[in-house]
Structure 1
Amino acid sequence: MLKVYALASRAALPLAYRRVARKLAAHGTDPARIVERLGHPTQERADGPLLWLHAASVGESLSVLRLIAQLGQMHPGLNFLLTSGTATSAQMLATRLPPRCVHQFAPLDSPACVGRFLDHWRPDGGVFIESEMWPNMLRLAAARGVPLALLNARISDRSARGWARLGGTARHLLGLFAMIHTQDARTAAHLADLGAPDARQGANLKAMSGPLPCDAPALADLRADVADRPVWTAASTHPGEEEIALSAHKAVLAELPRALMILVPRHPDRAGAIAQMIGHAGLTYTRRSAGAGPEAGAQVYLADTLGELGLWYALAPVACVAGSFTPVGGHNPFEAAHAGAAVLHGPLYANFAESYAQMDAAGAARQVADAQDLGRAVRHLLATPADLGAMQDAARQFAAAQDDALEDLAATLCAALKLG
Structure 2
Amino acid sequence: MTRWQYQVALGLIAPWLLWDAWRRYRHAPPGQRRLLEQFGRLRDGLPRGGLWLHAVSLGEVRAAAMLVSALQARWPNLPIVISTTTETGAEAARALGLPHFYAPFDLAFAQRRVLAHLRPRLMVVMETELWPNLVREAGRAGVPLVIANARLSDRSYDRYARWGGGLLREVLSGVELICAQSAADRDRFLKLGAPHAEDCGNLKFDLPVSEEAVPVPAEHHLTWLAASTHPGEEAQVLAAHERVRAHYPEARLILVPRHPERAGEVSRLVDRSGLSVGTWAPDQPPGDRPAVEVVDRAGLLAGLFPEVPVVFMGGSLVPVGGHNPIEPAAVGRAVLHGTAVQNFRQVFAVLGERDACCEVADSEALATAVIECFARPERWAATGARARAVIAEHRGAAERLVERLVERLASWLD
- State the TM-score, normalized to the length of structure 1: 0.88
Give the Cα separation in 2 of the matches to 1:205 and 1:5: 35
Percent identity reads 35
Matched with 1:280 is 272
Partner of 1:34: 35
Residue 298 of structure 1 aligns to a residue whose secondary structure is coil
Among 310, 322, 338, which residue is 2:314 paired with? Answer: 322
Partner of residue 73, structure 2: 73
Offset of residue 2 of structure 1: 6.2
**Structure 1 CA distance, aligned partners of 2:3 and 2:272?**
55
Match of 1:255 in 2: 247
CA distance in 2, matches of 1:267, 1:118: 32
Aligned partners of 1:149 and 1:178 also within 8 Å? yes
Quote the Cα distance in structure 2 between the aligned partners of 1:371 and 1:10: 42
Measure how far apart 1:204 and its partner are.
Answer: 1.7
CA contact (8 A) 1:6 1:110 kept: no
1:386 corresponds to: 378
1:235–1:319 CA contact under 8 A, matched in 2: yes
Which shows bigger deviation, 138-147 or 53-62?
53-62
Letter in 2 for 1:252: V
Query: Is the Cα–Cα contact under 8 Å of residues 66 and 203 in structure 2 kept in the other structure?
Result: no
Alpha-carbon distance between aligned partners in 2 of 1:161 and 1:77, rounded to the nearest angstrom:
41
> Which of 143, 147, 154 does residue 146 from structure 1 map onto?
143
User: Which of 339, 347, 359 is the aligned partner of 2:351?
Assistant: 359
Which residue of structure 2 lines up, in the alignment, with residue 24 of structure 1?
Answer: 24
> Is structure 2 residue 119 aligned with structure 1 residue 122?
yes
Displacement of 1:117 after TM fit?
Answer: 0.7
State yes or no: 1:233 paired with 2:225. Answer: yes
Cα deviation for residue 105 of structure 1 reads 0.9
Q: Answer with 176-185 or 373-382: which moved more.
A: 176-185
Return the alpha-carbon distance in structure 2 between the equivalents of residues 87 and 72 of structure 1: 25
State the secondary structure of the residue aligned to 1:403.
coil
- Displacement of 1:57: 2.5
SS in 2 for 1:177: coil
CA shift for structure 1 position 190:
2.4
1:46 paired residue number: 47
State the SS of the aligned residue for 2:36: helix
Alpha-carbon distance between aligned partners in 2 of 1:312 and 1:261, rounded to the nearest angstrom: 12
Q: Which residue of 2 aligns with 1:94?
A: 94
State the alpha-carbon separation in 1 of the partners of residues 324 and 208 from structure 2: 11
**CA-to-aligned-CA distance 1:257-308 (integer Å, 9 cap, x gap):** 2222111122222222222222222222331369745545522222222221
Q: 1:192 to 1:28 in 2, by over 3 A?
A: same
* Deviation, structure 1 residue 160: 3.6
In the TM superposition, residue 157 of structure 1 has moved relative to its aligned partner by 4.3
Give the match for residue 312 of structure 1.
304
Contact 2:253 / 2:292 at 8 angstroms: preserved in 1?
A: yes
Instruction: Provide the rounded CA distance (Å) in 1 between the counterparts of 2:71 and 2:142.
Output: 21
2: CA distance between counterparts of 1:291 and 1:81?
Answer: 36
Q: CA deviation at 1:241?
A: 1.7
Evaluate the alpha carbon distance shift between residue 178 and residue 228 of structure 1 in structure 2; reply closer, same or farther with a 3 A threshold: closer
3-state secondary structure, aligned to 1:286: strand
Q: What's the offset of the Cα at 1:111?
A: 1.3
The 2-side partners of 1:343 and 1:242 are apart by: 17
* 69-78 vs 292-301, which moves further: 292-301
Counterpart CA distance in 1 for 2:157 and 2:221 is 48
Aligned partners of 1:280 and 1:399: how far apart in 2?
39
Partner of 2:109: 112
Contact 1:150 1:181 (8 Å CA) reproduced: yes
User: Match for 2:19: what amino acid?
Assistant: R
1:409 Cα deviation after fit:
1.9
Give the direction of change, closer, same or farther, for the CA distance of 1:23–1:359 in structure 2 (3 Å limit): farther
Q: 1:203 aligns with which of 201, 204, 225?
A: 201
Partner Cα distance (1:349, 1:228) in 2: 27
Displacement of 1:313: 0.4
Task: Determine if contact 1:167/1:194 at 8 Å carries over to the other structure.
Answer: no
Query: Secondary structure of 2:99's partner?
Result: strand
Gaps of 5+ in 1: 213-218
2:342 alignment partner in structure 1:
350
Identify unmatched segments of 5+ residues in structure 2.
none
> In structure 2, do the counterparts of structure 1 residues 157 and 383 end up closer, same or farther at CA, with 3 Å as the change threshold?
closer
Give the 3 Å change call, closer, same or farther, for CA 357–26 of structure 1 in structure 2: farther
Give me the TM-score of the superposition, normalised by structure 2. Answer: 0.89
Q: Secondary structure at the match of 1:64?
A: helix
* Aligned-partner Cα distance in 2 for 1:267–1:413: 35
Indicate the residue corresponding to 1:135 in structure 2: 132
Structure 1 residue 211: Cα displacement: 6.5
Shift of 1:314: 0.8
